[in-house]
Amino acid sequence: MGGFTYSFHPTSLREYDIRGIIGETLGADDAFAIGRCFGTVVARAGGSSVAVGYDGRLSSPMLEEALVNGLMACGLKVFRIGCGPTPMLYFAAYHLKADGAVMVTGSHNPPNYNGFKSMIGKKPFFGKDIQMLGAMAAAGDVVPEAKGSFEKVDVSSDYVARMLQDYDGERGLKVVWDPGNGSGGVITERLAATLPGTHVVINAEIDGNFPNHHPDPTVLKNLAQIIAKVKETGSDLGIAFDGDADRIGVVDGEGNMLFGDQLLVVLARDVLKNHPGATIIADVKASQVLFDEVAKAGGTPLMWKTGHSLIKQKMAETGSPLAGEMSGHTFFADKWYGFDDALYSAVRLLGILGRSSESLADMREALPQVLNTPELRFDCSEDRKFEVVKEVAARLAAEGAEVQAVDGVRVLTADGWWLLRASNTQAVLVARAEARTEEGLERLKASLAAQVVASGLKAPDFSGENAGH
């Protein structure tokens, strides 16, 4: 083969992962090239093994095979753990002491999408690392071709057993689970069958067509089925996962959705009992209520940039035992490995509720009530999105506004706050606002809209978007 060179589609190498449309921007050749380049990075760092898993999408087995061939061409040993959730692959990397890991997954994207998430050693592989793969492929900068090997390894029993080890509930609960026909289906069934209590699992069959609903548990309409089932069965709560089970969605016994930041409050209070004063991290989109409640529970709240790789990196830096994002990524380093794992987070949540006299609905209702917009995303070209945020920041500075500039601008006023940031993965700006009163929310939305318009964009459409939480 000798002169290996390859050019990826310019849209496929993203900030946190590699992603594309099968047959258009992503295919078997890309998967092989990723294996060849990522394998080179591992080999040059002195590594000899990589763990590989794949999700339930129809294109995943084909991509996995090409990826494995690329890794083996670097002389590496590949542990093939088969179809399962992304966090099971992360677990396998620790459990098998692999030097790297690659998951073939389209996460919660439409069925015709797919992609790759990676880690090297114990760290996420993202940002400049991913761009480096593109440069290596274009230059043919890979280790000489060699003959590697693979071994099929089933870590599922070890993974389930390790999660159950940290279950600490005193009573079983009635729970409805919805893995959304994603790759967490089989593991969800096994977990539910072993936990105490009464469990109903819907949409457990792994089906890359996602016949029942789109596998994104942070969008209310995708929870309609689980909410109906929770009410019908009189269950204590419902737990839903995204397509590769690294993001969680939760509904209480009354059928109300808990937002990612509300769930984090429940988890943080428990973790802080054993780690007083610990740093709890959440992304800039989280409610002020979360940061206030963490402080009230004796923790040190830290607002950080949105993005699972960035949060993992910050956790390692600060020694934080727990972090979360509005998107439903929840990261436990308390007793666990610090990666985002929706299944493990579910086990910990059931432990908390199984030791509490309060229901999840009680806990949600006791939180300070605020009004907010959901996450609004509006188009803004790649070359303008970061510039617009800079322009807004400059105008706000000139006005003397109180701004948190961790990731975009989060503006604090007497009414509450509004946020504007550039998405790392799409040509969009993301906005959100939160206030204690309707009038306050209207003022915040007007202020946000005025800034967007001042930078030459159309004001975001807030119509009918208010959601209390």
Identify the CA nearest to 181 among candidates 251, 90, 106, 258.
106
The rounded distance, in Å, linking the Cα atoms of 30 and 11 is 12
Going 459 to 461 to 465 to 466, the CA torsion angle's sign is positive
Q: Distance between CA 410 and CA 285 in Å, rounded?
A: 9
Assess contact for 12 and 24: CB atoms under 8 A. no
**What is the sign of the dihedral through the CA atoms of 193, 194, 197 and 203?**
negative
Query: Which among 107, 118, 183, 287 is annotated as catalytic?
Result: 107
Identify the residue whose tokens are 């009410």.
231
Per-residue tokens: 120: 């090297």
Residue 421 in contact with residue 432, Cβ under 8 Å? Answer: no
Q: What is the CA radius of gyration of the chain?
A: 22
End-to-end CA distance of the chain: 58
Active site residue 107: yes
- Residue entry with tokens 């919660």: 108
Structure tokens that stand for 66 in this block: 């090409």
- Residue 17 CB contacts under 8 Å (≥ 6 apart), including other chains: 107, 115, 116, 117, 118, 126, 130
d(CA 456, CA 429): 13
Token representation of residue 23: 């047959």
Neighbours of 234 (CB within 10 A): 9
Which active-site residues does the annotation give? 107
